[in-house]
Amino acid sequence: MKRVFTMSTDLYSRMLDGLSNLFFTEKLGVDADMNFYRNDFWLSDSAVIESLQLRKGAWEINLLFAHHKTPLKFLSRRITSHSCPKRARTMAFYMRRQAAKDQRGTLTLDLNDLNLTLN
């Protein structure tokens, strides 16, 4: 039989205090925060690269959208996370194919296009 969840009154009062103070700590966004949605025409010509990272015991799937003509123009988005690395790889593969305009993956990026100097 499961035990009933209990919480001390001190912890409960601190939690309620934190929740009521949350209203004062958050701030409203401005109109310029959404410009990446308005100026998203370049995303139709972008290469999509999937990335898997182990964070807090779960495999996090990120998609990187990079313009193939201007590689420094990119957008990274966290998609989801999975506890199983095999499922995460499979999900990342299908998410990349779904997000890419060119599903065959012929749009690629070359590291030499970035003109990096490693001094």
- Burial (CB < 10 A; 0-12, 13-18, 19+), residue 43, is middle
Q: Does 48 fall in a domain?
A: yes
Say whether pLDDT at 58 is over 60. yes
Q: Does 64 fall in a domain?
A: yes
Q: Which whole number is the average pLDDT over 84-108? A: 79
Q: Does 96 fall in a domain?
A: yes
Residue 43's contacts (CB-CB under 8 Å, 6 or more residues apart) are 65, 75
Q: Which whole number is the average pLDDT over 74-101? A: 85
Domain range for 80 is 42-104
Is pLDDT larger for residue 29 or for residue 74? 74
* pTM for this entry: 0.54
C-beta of residue 50 within 8 angstroms of C-beta of residue 80: no
Length of the chain: 119
Question: What's the pLDDT at 86?
Answer: 92
Q: How many domains does the chain have?
A: 1
Q: Does 79 fall in a domain?
A: yes
57 half-sphere exposure, CB direction, 13 A CA radius: 0
Question: What's the pLDDT at 39?
Answer: 67
Q: Does 77 fall in a domain?
A: yes
Is pLDDT larger for residue 115 or for residue 93? 93
